[in-house]
Structure 1
Amino acid sequence: MLPLAHLQVFQALHGSSSARLEHCAELGDGMVAALWSNRHDAQRYEGPSHHTLSCYMAGGTGTFRRDRPDRKGSPDKLCVLPAGHDSQWVINGELRLAHLYFGEAQFAHGCVTLLDREPRELQLRESTFLDDPLQAARFHHLTRLNWQEPGERILTSSLAHEMLGHMLLTQVGIRDGLRLKGGLAAHQRRRLVEFIDAHLAEPLSLGTLAQLCNLSEYHFARMFRSSFGMPPHQYVLARRLHRARQLLQGTGLPLGEVALACGFASASHFAHRFGQTVKVKPGQYRLAMADR
């Protein structure tokens, strides 16, 4: 999870006397949402360590980037602010703005599982005042939900995953002139992804995964983290919880059987891990998904 103190874009707005935080919620899986209102302000973001997807919910017609004063914002316009970017903004008049923050680990996971690409080869393209009606509709749906209600918080997480996946499919480009060192080869990544997904119900050791790549555990762990953006155990846990969400939504299996099918030793251990990440109990998640 991304602590709010480490979200530089969030902290920049939070430190402004003009901006007002309406809502904020940790959505699980390393994603945070925030809804802001602001008026007559100036903001500067300097090389944040996280990515930000934003949407103008209302107003913004007097808002522009200092380096692009001829382009103004407006309702439903989106901005993609990648980690490491620099930007300065002038806010004339009033606006209402929704943000979705996520870190490099979530970006890397999506590159591997959705795009089947080495994350270090790819980068988010910085975009200002982008037209994307589908993403804007998701943001409007997100802001209409009660983020503190467990059932609706599940929907916010689902919407955030849809936004992240859509952004990866539409806003990711190849890095120019990059020479990669130390990561896993494409065929090794594919083999690992397929093996892990096929054996989620079984105990998986570092040695078993390293053997698939003919590497020592030490070198495998380093190379895996370079390629996937997270250690092997975190990746396996993320895949187990993803499978659990699928089973909770698409089957009537008892919670104990869902736990075993996803590699958890007990229903209580499963419930603890699921609650830590998704922020609700497995039973609440199932009920909320049934009501969609």
Structure 2
Amino acid sequence: MTEPAYGSFAQWYSDGHLAHYVRTMKSAGDIIHLLEAAQPAGDMSDPAVPDLVLYQDLHGGSRVSGDMGGGRFNVRSEKGSFFLSAPHFANTVVVDKEHELRSVSFPLAQWQSVMDEAAGGQSSLDYQKLCMGAFASPTIRSAVRNLWALCDEEGAPSRLLAQAAGCEILAELCRLGGAPFSATKGGLAPWAERRCLELLRTHLSEDISLKELAAEVQLSPFHFSRMFKHSLGVPPRVYLTWLRMERVCELLAQTDLPVTEIAQEVGYSSNQVLARVFMKHRGVSPSEYRRVVRGPGRPLITLGVRAPLEGRQ
């Protein structure tokens, strides 16, 4: 292992010689960093950073050779293939053609305990196995795709989104590395489910974190995320969006608040962000929704609202 020359992968790509190839960079504090870049053929090596870095080749067809912490490899990358770079390791990577990539980097200080838990008490990730070139994972591909789609809608990822996606990705990496990974056997206790839903409803305007929700019911974020999905059928981040859409519909129908104020009340950074999310989930703009439900002679209805599942008693 090599002592890190940069404080994070995001810092390296911001300050290093590859910075001008970056098209998009988003961060959720010190939880995760997202990057998209269009790079030329040649030496794409990175210095040692204290982050675990997952790369995805968006188009494939490249010959990739080097060492990312698991030993030398020389492979042909396919569209959507992943590569994993070990933390504290100065990787050597040569790509034979122009390529586009996405990356998700996990600062080790934030994620080591989750990795240890996901690995079932073993010595966390098996870098010798996972950092040996290209690999495929439908689970990770879906998680990364959803993460980017939500970021495109809402801007920088919330802490809840970042932590939930990170737990899902790291759990799958541990499984691929041979950890004794088992399916969730049960969901949240009824009292814990009620408490979580109450917190989500009363903190719609805040950037509540997975860690905070888990602490309320005395669980680790890793286990809480899996148990919540088992109980409610969707991850906490999806359920939060449902609750926000429910509240937006109520405010549009029952108040004269401007859309900008409604956006702030439910935790969106602007009316433009709210409009994008609302259109996706309700099929109309907030203004059109208000016009329809408050038209002359029309009852106050909740057009298109699908109420979230309530906590089971």
When normalised by structure 1's length, the TM-score is: 0.52
1:131 equivalent among 136, 158, 164 = 136
1:288 equivalent among 274, 277, 280 = 280
Q: CA deviation at 1:57?
A: 1.6
Q: Does 1:80 align with 2:79?
A: no
> Aligned partners of 1:274 and 1:108: how far apart in 2?
29
> Aligned partners of 2:85 and 2:265: how far apart in 1?
34
User: Do 1:56 and 1:97's aligned partners in 2 also have CA atoms closer than 8 Å?
Assistant: yes
Q: CA deviation at 1:69?
A: 3.0
Relative to its length, the structure with more strand (as a share) is 1
SS at match of 1:80: strand
Match of 1:217 in 2: none
Structure 2: which 5+ residue stretches go unaligned?
1-5, 178-187, 204-213, 223-234, 254-259, 285-313
1:254 equivalent among 228, 250, 253 = 250
Deviations 1:77-99 (A, max 9, x none): 202346x3424122142232111
Q: Which amino acid aligns with 2:43?
A: D
Higher relative contact order (CA 8 A, sep 6+): 1
Match of 2:26 in 1: 25
> Aligned partners of 2:221 and 2:146: how far apart in 1?
31
SS at match of 1:275: coil
Match of 1:182 in 2: none
Match of 2:292 in 1: none
User: Do 1:57 and 1:98's aligned partners in 2 also have CA atoms closer than 8 Å?
Assistant: yes
What percent identity do the matched residue pairs reach?
12
Q: Does 1:99 align with 2:98?
A: no
User: Do 1:22 and 1:37's aligned partners in 2 also have CA atoms closer than 8 Å?
Assistant: yes
Q: Does 1:167 align with 2:163?
A: no
Deviations 1:119-157 (A, max 9, x none): 9957445424112245447767888x797x6x4759999
Larger radius of gyration: 2
Q: CA deviation at 1:37?
A: 2.5
User: Do 2:52 and 2:107's aligned partners in 1 also have CA atoms closer than 8 Å?
Assistant: yes
Match of 1:236 in 2: none
Deviations 1:9-31 (A, max 9, x none): 56157512597112223478944
Q: What are the within-5 Å matches in structure 2 for residues 36-55 of structure 1?
A: 36-38=37-39, 39-48=41-50, 50-55=51-56
Number of residue pairs the alignment of both structures matches: 230
Match of 2:241 in 1: 245
Change (3 A) 1:282 1:104: farther
Q: CA deviation at 1:55?
A: 0.6
Match of 1:15 in 2: 16
When normalised by structure 2's length, the TM-score is: 0.49
Q: Which amino acid aligns with 2:100?
A: R
Deviates more, 1:154-163 or 1:55-64: 154-163
Q: CA deviation at 1:74?
A: 0.6
> Aligned partners of 2:277 and 2:30: how far apart in 1?
15
> Aligned partners of 1:41 and 1:244: how far apart in 2?
43
Change (3 A) 1:170 1:283: same
Change (3 A) 1:45 1:159: same
> Aligned partners of 1:280 and 1:106: how far apart in 2?
32
SS at match of 1:71: strand
